């Protein structure tokens, strides 16, 4: 067990995403000991994962060791471990090595993973984008596809290798489609001798009637037009019915493609099952107005783990600003409880707008009455993301990478961490990470 002061309140936070880290940050100076449990040793800036997948940024530019973030906080302990369950009566978190962590207050900030709508077998052929491993796997498959196309003389095989399918027209799907199109048409244009990367097909398939469904219709229409100008083929109103090593089937048609990326849905962590709590269709824990689990005032759920609604009845979106606001609210409520003070009131989400980048110098922003598109929106998107990065070094590194990429189209993270040999399958045959 973690050593904590006998008379100090022990807060256990499961998950070091935006919400979990915010809780720990906001508890600085409080009379509490904090234990952060995460299966990985780093905090990840997920909004820029697609840029790692597209070879624009390296992994170290968007991830930070959790221990480093709290190196000056002796009351914060970090455990890299897998949670297997929660003993609510004993107030203990059960870890995969059999050990237990006792808590006074528990915060579940466990995030979400990919949802394949009952077709989990598709995950082998169409990885999603939630972790660094996902990003480097996708990056490896994209780059390996070009390498294999260069050395094959079969025109059909070459066409399949140079066809990239993205399933899902939300922000992640749009951003991936745009970055892959630019990678093929700009960055790699002069790197090969037997193939022309600029002739590659990038196909974005969305089951709904438009892209970016949470944005206004005019911005959705602009996004589609901008992607098509980049050379992306946009397919709307047609769900994918099959994914395999040979490609996808949609609308009764088969499209041969060796690289498929899933950006169509998310599924919450097993937190609701650990608690035996009510959950929504995506598996998120249903929480009360103060973000606690029914019947368990000492247990909070936030971010993608929680299902909660705003005053107008709409669900709080699963985005980083919402998770950070929830983390701040929970930390404040914990402190008030320790001082025997009532809560300030129920959690109130303040929507700060939706942002999505389409490609180099192209983005859309929806801030309610204010709607932006094009280059100006792109600059605001860049500045906002640089601001929320952790540390001056990372801000400068990402800014310089973007300036370099914007100026000459160079992407420096084009490394495939897998050697092709006659005795092992090719990179595209492997389902694991390539980096």
State the catalytic residues: 175
In the numeric block, the tokens 């300030």 are attached to: 344
CA distances to 24, 59, 332 from 28, in Å = 7, 28, 11
Are 88 and 100 in contact by the 8 Å Cβ rule? The answer is no
Pull the structure tokens for residue 23: 């809780």
Are 269 and 305 in contact by the 8 Å Cβ rule? The answer is yes
Provide the 3-class DSSP secondary structure of residue 21: helix
DSSP letter string over 22-83?
HHHHHTTTSSEEEEEEESSSEEE-GGGHHHHHTTSS-GGGSEEEHHHHTTT-TTEEEEE--E
Cα angle value 345/28/8 (rounded, 5°): 90
Residue 328's nearest CA partner among 353, 348, 312 is: 348
Are 241 and 249 in contact by the 8 Å Cβ rule? The answer is yes
Are 302 and 323 in contact by the 8 Å Cβ rule? The answer is yes
The rounded radius of gyration (Å) of the Cα atoms in the chain is: 23
DSSP letter string over 185-249?
IIITTTT-SS--GGG-EEEEEESSSSSSTTS-HHHHHHHHHHHHHTTEEEEES--EEEEETTEEE
């Amino acid at each position: 067990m973690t050593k904590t002061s006998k008379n100090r309140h022990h807060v256990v936070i499961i998950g070091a995403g935006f919400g979990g880290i915010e809780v720990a940050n906001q508890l600085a100076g409080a009379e509490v000991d904090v234990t952060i449990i995460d299966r990985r040793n780093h905090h990840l800036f997920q909004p820029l994962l697609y840029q790692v997948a597209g070879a624009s940024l390296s992994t170290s530019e968007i991830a930070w060791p959790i221990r480093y973030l709290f190196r000056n906080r002796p009351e914060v302990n970090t455990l890299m471990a897998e949670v297997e369950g929660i003993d609510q009566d004993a107030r203990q978190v059960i870890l995969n090595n059999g050990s237990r962590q006792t808590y006074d207050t528990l915060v579940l900030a466990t995030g979400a993973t990919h949802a394949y709508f009952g077709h989990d077998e598709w995950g082998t052929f169409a990885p999603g984008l939630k972790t660094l491993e996902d990003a480097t796997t996708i990056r490896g498959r994209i780059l390996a596809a070009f390498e294999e196309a260069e050395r094959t003389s079969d025109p059909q095989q070459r066409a399949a290798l140079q066809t990239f399918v993205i399933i899902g027209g939300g922000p992640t799907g749009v951003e991936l489609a745009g970055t892959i199109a630019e990678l093929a048409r700009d960055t790699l244009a002069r790197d090969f001798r037997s193939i022309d990367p600029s002739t590659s097909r990038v196909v974005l398939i969305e089951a709904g009637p438009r892209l970016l469904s949470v944005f206004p219709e005019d911005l959705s229409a602009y996004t589609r037009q901008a992607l098509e100008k980049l050379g992306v083929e946009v397919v709307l109103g047609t769900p994918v019915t099959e994914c395999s090593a040979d490609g996808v089937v949609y609308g009764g048609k088969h499209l041969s493609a060796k690289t498929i990326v899933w950006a169509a849905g998310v599924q919450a962590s097993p937190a609701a099952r650990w608690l035996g709590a009510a959950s929504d269709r995506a598996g998120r824990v249903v929480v009360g107005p103060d973000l606690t689990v029914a019947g368990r005032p000492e247990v909070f759920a936030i971010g993608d783990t929680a299902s909660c609604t705003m005053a107008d009845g709409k669900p709080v979106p699963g985005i980083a600003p919402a998770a950070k606001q929830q983390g701040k609210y929970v930390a404040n409520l914990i402190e008030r409880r320790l001082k025997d003070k009532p809560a300030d009131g129920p959690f109130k989400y303040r929507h700060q707008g939706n942002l999505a980048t389409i490609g180099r110098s192209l983005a859309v922003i929806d801030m309610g009455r204010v709607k932006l598109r094009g280059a100006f929106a792109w600059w605001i998107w860049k500045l906002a993301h640089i601001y929320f990065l952790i540390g001056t070094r990372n801000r400068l590194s990402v800014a310089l990478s973007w300036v370099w990429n914007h100026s000459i189209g160079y992407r420096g993270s084009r490394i495939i961490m897998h050697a092709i040999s006659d005795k092992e399958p090719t990179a595209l045959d492997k389902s694991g990470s390539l980096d």
